[in-house]
Amino acid sequence: MAEAQSTGGASGKMVIRNIGLLLSGDLERPILDADTIVVDNGRIAAVGKAKSLDASGAKVEVDVKGTVIAPGLIDSHVHPVFGDWTPRQSQLNWIDSFLNGGVTTMISAGEVHLPGRPRDVLGVKALAITAQRAFDAFRPGGMKVHAGAPVIEKGMVEEDFKELAAAGVKLLGEVGLGGVKTGDEAKRMVGWARKYGIQSTIHTGGPSIPGSGLIDKDVVLEADADVIGHINGGHTALPLDQIRCLCEQCKRAIEIVHNGNEKAALFAMRTARELGELNRVILGTDSPAGSGVQPLGILRMIAMLSSLGDVPAEQAFCFATGNTARMRKLDSGLIEVGLAADFVQLDKAQHSAGKDMLESVRMGDIPGLGMVIIDGQIRCGRSRNTPPAETVAEAKSH
């Protein structure tokens, strides 16, 4: 297990060559005209055509063999607890399974499944700080887990948010999963969080499990959290007219999750498109949850939104990469010089009817994954979870 716990970036140079299709993560320009990426010390150092880049002196060379490189996928909505274990479904190594589904960064929407989760203010703060510290120091398979997301409870005061921020907490768990369920109370605490640089997400829709409650559009609008968490419900969605209203009136991120209502997911995405605001759409799994753990959940969302929602596949990939990275202020998710070298190598799955990876996704198939790189280090080869990619990348060390 020592290897799975390795942290930090690679030193030295890596060259990724023979890229057939380079997805950028940027909705404005989802496909880049480049076949080579040079990585130095875990960061993207150059992107372009092989003949115009200095690829000499590379310690590691990755031959992509004409297939696809995309930014590592980001799951905007997970519920980790401690380690690579989830008590919700008593499952081990779920984070490593997501790595094999192309996810390189996860954002906690609250460590809500901890058995006996504290509800008193001191306990809420202690848990958040502990989770932030623990996942900062422990990266299963290299996965970046941004955790330590306190679920706000009645009685919290401004000083609590100041203290959390000073301790390194950067996220609030889903507003509405704790004792704070009214718009005015939520608005006050979300405002304090924002004041100290803590980003917030609100639960949207019916209760997810016994103990949580309904959060309707009026509460979401009044609370004004940074992310309209699972706008398609987790699982129970609001009526579609309320979802439209949220897309139109709340200018925050529109988060669509795997463990939600799929009809509502398509409706939210189409409404964002009508508004010309697809850049607000971000994706999560909302897992582990009652419906389990979905290692391929982000790839499945991309295929579902592209095929049933008629979105070009290269745009759907942006929902799970650049859109989320910008919204969450991450240093990854886009193919840009200076950002973290987090990549996935993809190809169409064997025997997909699509002629290439993008067409296969457009037809509703999920792609095969051949390699995951995080911070310039190869973290897995051919995925143990996706259908097999037709072609996988090969690496050579010098």
> Which residue has its beta carbon closest to Zn ion?
203
**174 contacts Zn ion (rule: CB under 5 A):** yes
Contact 304, 265 (CB under 8 A): yes
**144 contacts Zn ion (rule: CB under 5 A):** no
Site for Zn ion in 315-334 (CB under 5 A): none
Shorter beta-carbon distance to Zn ion: residue 187 or 235 = 235
Strand order in the sheet with 68-71: 31-32, 21-23, 68-71, 343-347, 368-374, 377-380
**376 contacts Zn ion (rule: CB under 5 A):** no
**284 contacts Zn ion (rule: CB under 5 A):** no
What token pair was written down for 346?
């993809």
Site for Zn ion in 331-370 (CB under 5 A): none
Q: Of 198-206, 269-277, 348-356, 377-385, which part binds Zn ion (CB under 5 A)?
A: 198-206
Give the residue among 170, 171, 198, 202 at the shortest CA–CA distance from 186. 202
Q: How far is the CB of 329 from Zn ion (least distance, A)?
A: 22
**234 contacts Zn ion (rule: CB under 5 A):** yes
At 8, phi and psi to the nearest 5?
Answer: 85, 170
Give, in order, the Cα–Cα distances in Å from 139 to each of 1, 127, 128, 285, 374: 11, 18, 17, 19, 11
CB atoms within 10 A of CB 7: 11
Q: Alpha-carbon distance 389 to 398, whole Å?
A: 26
Q: How far is the CB of 286 from Zn ion (least distance, A)?
A: 6
**280 contacts Zn ion (rule: CB under 5 A):** no
**203 contacts Zn ion (rule: CB under 5 A):** yes
Shorter beta-carbon distance to Zn ion: residue 12 or 213 = 213
**181 contacts Zn ion (rule: CB under 5 A):** no
At 362, phi and psi to the nearest 5?
Answer: -60, -25
Q: How far is the CB of 203 from Zn ion (least distance, A)?
A: 4
Residues that bind Zn ion (CB under 5 A): 174, 203, 208, 234
